[in-house]
Amino acid sequence: MRFIRKQIFSFPLFPKAAPPYCCMAIQTLTSSAPTTTDAINEGDDDRLCVEQPEPQQEAEPEDAPATGRPFGYLTGEARIERAWSHWKKIGQPKFLVAPMVDNSELPFRMLCRKYGADGAYTPMLHSRIFSENEKYRSEEFTTCKEDRPLFVQFCANNPDTLLAAARRVEPYCDYVDINLGCPQRIARRGNYGAFLMDNLPLVKSLVEKLACNLQVPVSCKIRLFPKLEDTISYAKMLEEAGCALLAVHGRTRDEKDGRKFRANWSAIKAVKDAVRIPVLANGNIRYMDDVWSCLEETGVQGVLSAESLLENPALFAGYETAEWASDSERNCVDGKLDQADLVVEYLKLCEKYPVPWRMIRSHVHKMLGDWFRIQPNVREDLNAQHKLTFEFLFDVVNRLKEHGVRIPLYVKDGSVEQISANGTVP
């Protein structure tokens, strides 16, 4: 049975309507919520971690301010110039948090931003559910004014539905991104993500629809085709359709396991050389040396990291886990920061920016994985906890610390002083 829940933050859907962007809201649930497998689970663990006061009224999407002609109406050279001027205007981010379902949510993005990320993607949002369902919108998309540059990612297979969803977020982001890379079974069943690689006319129509109707540019995140020439024609088609930025995950649709298959940076370089819009690389970014190598080898504008950031959100600030520090011949020293510290910072951000508990649970497991391996009893207690509280989670961290086992994050050459002096990366 569904039940009524209170809205948390008021959410001015368009900046004109009210002062600064605050978090989107938990909204009254209704019986019209979707029941697909993509829809929200309803377990206790899915509830937002903080209840908040009554909402203000949302403005209607039609109130969106018009700030110029949509990108897609430009042609040829002007379009490429606009893609670059937008990229420069947002500060040319180099170190980006990749889109991650249930994992690149607002507090995690803010944690990564504090530690060097200069751009971030939201988790993939389902365009149909997003455009239809208030509860989904309010739980799955939250942002704040410091959460920029921001890419909001959707999966879609219907241009009108995608546009309806995109219109709701465009005032709050720098790109609306289309997920063309998800290789999971759920994407096959839903006919989105990497499975749209079998229907390129549909992909083209999705990009064109957004490019011709949104004020913010459209970006796409793609995977490789097995043949390089197919990937290149694909990238050129996207550019031609109005895509203003391309993120290339250097693996094919069948190469699902990132640990088993190394990303193909030379294919990313070939795409970068073939198109004229800004390109980002994704895959094999585990610590900063990978970032610099990737930028040099591919010539891309920036990199996305996913799995490694989950374990170490301070990656872009130059911190690395023992796994990589011990693997190298470089002189790595204790960075005076560890994953338990990062979990505490993350939990405080969650108190400030409420998100469903399942996301918090997932991050605690990923950041403290190595610590739990040493103290499995603490992990078991966490797993046994059906309903989480911040008090319980802070206590988990304290218990891990009390046992005197500390696993530091490492830095090269003492560069940490620069970072910790003001809490951010220089």
Cis peptide before 149 (omega within 30 of 0): yes
Q: Is 99 in the site for ligand FMN (CB under 6 A)?
A: yes
Interface map 241-270 toward ligand FMN (x if CB under 6 A):
--------x--------x------------
Pick left, alpha or beta for residue 337 (phi over 0 → left; psi -120 to 50 → alpha; otherwise beta): beta
* 173 near ligand FMN, judged by CB under 6 A: no
Q: How far is the CB of 362 from ligand FMN (least distance, A)?
A: 8
Judged by CB, which is closer to ligand FMN: 94, or 399? 94
Find residue 48's DSSP bridge partners.
356
Q: How far is the CB of 364 from ligand FMN (least distance, A)?
A: 14
In the bound state, the residue with its beta carbon closest to ligand FMN is 124
Smaller CB separation from ligand FMN, 220 or 349: 220
Alpha-carbon distance of 299 to 302, in angstroms, equals: 9
The reply to whether 221 sits near ligand FMN by the rule CB under 6 A is yes
Q: Provide, rounded to whole angstroms, the least separation between the CB of residue 199 and ligand FMN.
A: 18
For ligand FMN, the closer of residues 70 and 119 by Cβ is 119
Nearer CB in complex with ligand FMN: 194/244: 194
Q: Does 179 sit near ligand FMN (CB under 6 A)?
A: yes
- What CA–CA distance (Å, rounded) separates 253 from 261? 11
- To the nearest 10 degrees (0 to 180), the angle between helices 200-213 and 159-169 is 40
338 three-state secondary structure: strand
Candidates 39-47, 175-183, 233-241, 385-393; binding stretch for ligand FMN (CB under 6 A): 175-183
Tokens standing for residue 332: 């790595």
Report the distance separating Cα 165 and Cα 127, nearest Å. Answer: 5
Between 153 and 158, CB nearer to ligand FMN = 153
Q: How many helices (H) and strands (E) does the chain have?
A: 18, 11
What's the first-to-final CA gap in the chain, in angstroms? 51
**Element at 279 (helix H, strand E):** strand 279-282
For residue 17, the minimal CB distance to ligand FMN (Å) is: 29
Dihedral sign from CA coordinates of 142, 7, 29, 383: positive
Q: How far apart are CA 31 and CA 49, in angstroms?
A: 22
Smallest gap, in angstroms, from Cβ of residue 252 to ligand FMN?
12
CA distances from 333 to 285, 318, 374, 417, 418 (A): 20, 12, 22, 12, 14
Q: Give the CA dihedral 354, 359, 361, 363, nearest 10 degrees.
A: -100
| Residue 182 annotated in active site | yes
CA 125 – CA 141 distance, rounded (Å): 8
Distances in Å between the alpha carbon of 307 and those of 44, 257, 304, 342? 26, 11, 10, 16
Q: Between residue 152 and residue 171, which ones bind ligand FMN under the rule CB under 6 A?
A: 153
Under rule CB under 6 A, which residues in 296-335 are in contact with ligand FMN? 305-308
CB of 143 to ligand FMN, least distance (A): 16
CB 346 within 8 A of CB 108: yes
Judged by CB under 6 A, how many residues of this single chain contact ligand FMN? 22
- Closest CB to ligand FMN among residues 163, 220: 220
Site mask for ligand FMN (CB under 6 A), range 103-132, x = bound: x-------------------xx--------
Q: Which of residues 110 and 306 has its CB atom nearest to ligand FMN in the complex? A: 306
Binding span for ligand FMN by CB under 6 A among 29-37, 280-288, 294-302, 344-352:
280-288
203 binds ligand FMN (CB under 6 A): no
Give the residue with the Cβ less far from ligand FMN, 173 or 306: 306
Identify the residue among 285, 364, 393, 416 touching ligand FMN (CB under 6 A): 285
Per residue, the 3-state secondary structure of 240-257, as one string, reads HHCEEEEEEEEEECCCCC
- ∠ CA 240-246-248, nearest 5°, is 125
Of 338-377, which residues contact ligand FMN (CB under 6 A)? none
- Nearest approach, Cβ of residue 292 and ligand FMN (Å): 15
Query: Which is catalytic among the residues 112, 182, 220, 243?
Result: 182
Catalytic residues: 182
Given the rule CB under 6 A, which residues bind ligand FMN? 98-101, 103, 123-124, 153, 179, 181-182, 221, 249, 258, 282-285, 305-308
